[in-house]
A = this chain, B = another copy of it.
Amino acid sequence: MKSELLTDKELEDLSTELADWDVSSNGLERSYDFGNFVQAFSFMAGAALHCERLNHHPEWSNVYGKVHVRLVTHDQNGVTNLDVTLARLMEELSGA
């Protein structure tokens, strides 16, 4: 998948669709709280498969039931359609 930087208009629209994410040209970020480690890591394992298939990997951290995700396309220095695709897949996996 070729990645293209989002326009300001697209970022604005996205902030409605991905309401639980911080959406800016510097990256997409969200914190999940799954309540326990099993749910959190189960989510990470599924998300990891999407990431590897898309060859697009997050900066993410985990403490117990919490997972913080930051998505950005480094070689374009901003948010691209790849980041949006991953964010949507993570939303789906999280059951959000």
Contacts and interface: CB of A to CB of B under 8 A. Distances in A.
A64 B75 CA distance: 14
A84 B51 CA distance: 23
B49 A37 contact: yes
A41 to B, nearest CB: 5
Contacts of A16: none
The size class of the interface chain A forms with chain B is 20 to 34
Main secondary structure of the interface of A (DSSP, over half): helix
B50 A59 contact: no
Given A53-B53, A53-B55, A63-B57, A39 B48 contact: no
Contact of A64 (B49, B57, B93): B57
5 contacts: A38-B50, A45-B48, A48-B49, A57-B64, A95-B95
